[in-house]
Structure 1
């Protein structure tokens, strides 16, 4: 049986039981090491387009002038416009699909000379045709990466699921636009309604932190958060998010310690911070990309921090410190393409979550959470637990071996076997180190 997805719900509950408890470590009843109950669902191995044992074929036909205009608009305003495209996935053609640029640092410095096949994209099959989807998914993200194989992100996502945290299905693809030479690209689920229904039980709202935003409280006017958070699912309602930000920024230390467990899945967040440090992903919740989602559970009124963006996991190993690669080719960054490394050098080490230091940024939740000794201890315990569960057990090596085999046996026309071996060895060094 291939070690891809995990039984997330069972692991999340187990993590809460192992880390949680009503009594504080110090005996102070104002601090709890348990949080609101997690609402994660069991997620089975992907199938169809999300069968990770297969290199999938994805080709797109789109008007060249429309793409050029899209790039010009992004250069001038930062706006990511949609264009209509024909998308063929594993031989099945979808007409009138939507296509737009996807990313922030991965688009920095993009020029008119960029090859569309090398750019990061969001494909939305139901943008112009209601209900159009493939195997239950209407949105697919074609990821950028600093390596040729994207093994670092692929492995990290499988380990994230094994850790009992909400992850995304990911597959390798042979990807091309308008008949250009195909590139090896990692394709992952977008965190949309389809993804939320697969990963969480009950009604809720999903918010995405914008790369240029922060977690500050800006008053109770929703318009003040336009460039800070995007709501990805549910009817427009920023009230729960605004209330949470108000609490994070304005509560006393005593109230924060006493009340956060009623507002946040504390055990899951500790495990999240430990995981990001373990896989050496500095571009996380308090990294330069502000990469995180907040999922609000309408039943419990609590939030769960959802991990996002692992293309710099394992320190970006495999592709050096920065250059973008869509995969394949000679490993050089294509003409006109930006680096995927955010501005600022990669930090050495970093605190829980991997952020901070050069290139990092502060995050009020991380700072206040880890300032509470009991919760800082949870992070350390979670890191020890995850080291045993993911690394010492041999699971990470098994996952890395499976992904390497898929690329070596099925993607030889897209990437050299020596490159796969070299980049796998770099990750293996992190795992064994």
Structure 2
């Protein structure tokens, strides 16, 4: 009997590959399962978590440009040229002035004669950009002053209340008799934000007046791999071009001196150099370039670990287990994909919930106590108003994967050496009112000076704010300094670092050496440099003499 001709269905089936015919039931089941997932989970948000314990990094370097000389050889003058189109620059400004977003612009970069095409550049800073104008007008949604950028879900005012973000006294504010606006110079002080010779006053609390029409004077972050994947310059991914006119005047001499003495004292510090800086066909200026804490910087740390950056919008408060809820508080810099933010969340939770007894007994299980004591001593010695407890939240956390402990890494020293040179080891460093409050004093709303009248709705800094106000404060720092259990380790670190920074003459020598280099940098102003270096030397001399008589140093 002859076989029956195949049916239409059998003809279709035979056209399919043999493996598909063999496993068709499994394939149908998989398709059905995917369909169920799409229906069930289609409206469920997926939260990214990384649970790997690997210590591997994620970014592969495929091109490392050697250059002609070490960019961070601080003993010689350097040169940097940037060129970009006006259309790209205008688009970047539109984005920033309308939405507060800092987008990268493609530019060509030349460092010490070595050309790097298609780098990315963007505006850098938060409070620093508070004085930026375009055609005479400020941004409608720029950075939120010392409290950080105005982002959805964040209050427009700095955390803990405080003064408005434009750095000006609010309408209805009446200072007490004889009192000056915060940011004004006090007798015997070199105050942040004070107009330096040849500099426009403006910008409010520590800010400087910046104009979009003068890109050669703006703060920039240069990213060499933004448009060319895997590229580095001498191992560096990012370079920070620091802004003039903050606490250190047009030369930012105070920041360079701070970085120099920190390195000489054996403390963690970014490298720096002075360079001539030219943008398109604009005038050349002398600028400070600082190593930006990135993968290359992390590789220089002791041991293997993860680097986290505290953001200006950070609050160091427990916000639950969802790591995405901390996106405005910390940014993971290294080992993305192999590590996550959980150690930071655990630290925040422990610091903010532990009892005083537990904090004293077990802090060394979470934090490298001796390293932290040195960090805090340095901030006081250098009169750094804007450290981890300052309104800019300028610090990084380094998590050692072997010890499971955190260290605090300083960053952004342009408001150092610009306060009261007679402040003691246990005095808070402040730019505003209440600068003589003991460090670590339990926080609450500050009380205005006698005779001060605040307008309705305006509060003195307090709450999560800290010494010096203006939305500052940090629970870890405050609890450490308020505890007698850590007095000995703090004071021991303070004495040792005082000797290395001031007692040895290192700070004064640093000023002289840096000034000698700056005189050779194109675009500098010798008259302004002489004036600013003289002011800084006077403050260092006064601080050295004052601390030499303090009981912490003399041990009397």
Same fold? TM cut 0.5: yes
Displacement after TM superposition at 1:344 (Å)? 7.4
Which residue number in structure 1 is paired with residue 164 of structure 2?
none
Answer whether contact 1:73 1:80 (CA < 8 A) is retained.
yes
SS of 1:402's equivalent in the other structure is: helix
Rounded Cα–Cα distance in structure 2 between residues aligned with 1:347 and 1:53: 40
Rounded Cα–Cα distance in structure 1 between residues aligned with 2:388 and 2:323: 22
Matched ranges for 1:114-133 at <5 A: 114=212, 115-133=214-232
Which residue number in structure 2 is paired with residue 23 of structure 1?
none
Select the residue among 411, 422, 425 that pairs with 2:531.
422
Answer whether contact 1:60 1:85 (CA < 8 A) is retained.
yes
Answer whether contact 1:68 1:112 (CA < 8 A) is retained.
no
Rounded Cα–Cα distance in structure 1 between residues aligned with 2:81 and 2:477: 41
Which residue number in structure 2 is paired with residue 44 of structure 1?
none
Displacement after TM superposition at 1:288 (Å)? 1.3
Matched ranges for 1:359-378 at <5 A: 359=470, 361-378=472-489
Displacement after TM superposition at 1:66 (Å)? 1.5
Answer whether contact 1:270 1:382 (CA < 8 A) is retained.
yes
Which residue number in structure 1 is paired with residue 241 of structure 2?
142
Which residue number in structure 2 is paired with residue 173 of structure 1?
275
Answer whether contact 1:124 1:138 (CA < 8 A) is retained.
yes
Q: Deviations over 1:89-114 (max 9, x none)?
A: 01110011111111111111422242
Select the residue among 103, 116, 124 that pairs with 1:81.
103
Q: Does 1:201 align with 2:315?
A: no
Which residue number in structure 2 is paired with residue 230 of structure 1?
331
Which residue number in structure 1 is paired with residue 398 of structure 2?
295
Which residue number in structure 1 is paired with residue 257 of structure 2?
155
Which residue number in structure 2 is paired with residue 91 of structure 1?
113
Q: Deviations over 1:231-273 (max 9, x none)?
A: 1111251111111111111112222112110111111111111
SS of 1:294's equivalent in the other structure is: strand
Which residue number in structure 2 is paired with residue 270 of structure 1?
373
Q: Does 1:186 align with 2:288?
A: yes
SS of 2:321's equivalent in the other structure is: coil
SS of 1:259's equivalent in the other structure is: helix
SS of 2:90's equivalent in the other structure is: helix
Select the residue among 346, 355, 361 that pairs with 1:243.
346
SS of 2:390's equivalent in the other structure is: coil
Change (3 A) 1:139 1:91: same
Change (3 A) 1:347 1:371: closer
Answer whether contact 1:280 1:313 (CA < 8 A) is retained.
yes
Q: How many residues align?
A: 359
Rounded Cα–Cα distance in structure 1 between residues aligned with 2:394 and 2:470: 13
Which residue number in structure 2 is paired with residue 306 of structure 1?
409
Q: Does 1:386 align with 2:485?
A: no
Which residue number in structure 2 is paired with residue 19 of structure 1?
none
Which residue number in structure 1 is paired with residue 55 of structure 2?
none
Which residue number in structure 2 is paired with residue 348 of structure 1?
435
Rounded Cα–Cα distance in structure 2 between residues aligned with 1:219 and 1:99: 35
Which residue number in structure 2 is paired with residue 41 of structure 1?
none
Rounded Cα–Cα distance in structure 2 between residues aligned with 1:136 and 1:53: 20
Rounded Cα–Cα distance in structure 1 between residues aligned with 2:513 and 2:125: 28
Change (3 A) 1:130 1:422: same
The alignment's TM-score, normalised by the length of structure 2, stands at: 0.62
Higher helix share: 1
Displacement after TM superposition at 1:209 (Å)? 1.1
Change (3 A) 1:106 1:351: farther
Note the aligned Cα RMSD (angstroms): 2.2
Rounded Cα–Cα distance in structure 2 between residues aligned with 1:198 and 1:150: 25
Which residue number in structure 1 is paired with residue 364 of structure 2?
261
Change (3 A) 1:349 1:400: farther
Rounded Cα–Cα distance in structure 1 between residues aligned with 2:77 and 2:97: 33
Rounded Cα–Cα distance in structure 1 between residues aligned with 2:99 and 2:391: 21
Which gives a bigger RCO, structure 1 or 2 (Cα 8 Å, sep 6+)?
1
Displacement after TM superposition at 1:164 (Å)? 2.7
SS of 1:199's equivalent in the other structure is: coil
**Unaligned 5+ runs, structure 2:** 1-68, 136-211, 421-429, 441-465, 543-556
The alignment's TM-score, normalised by the length of structure 1, stands at: 0.78
Rounded Cα–Cα distance in structure 2 between residues aligned with 1:262 and 1:186: 38
Displacement after TM superposition at 1:192 (Å)? 0.4
Answer whether contact 2:419 2:431 (CA < 8 A) is retained.
no
Displacement after TM superposition at 1:352 (Å)? 4.8
Rounded Cα–Cα distance in structure 2 between residues aligned with 1:96 and 1:79: 21
Rounded Cα–Cα distance in structure 1 between residues aligned with 2:303 and 2:220: 29
**Unaligned 5+ runs, structure 1:** 1-46, 318-342
Answer whether contact 1:282 1:360 (CA < 8 A) is retained.
no
Rounded Cα–Cα distance in structure 2 between residues aligned with 1:347 and 1:310: 22
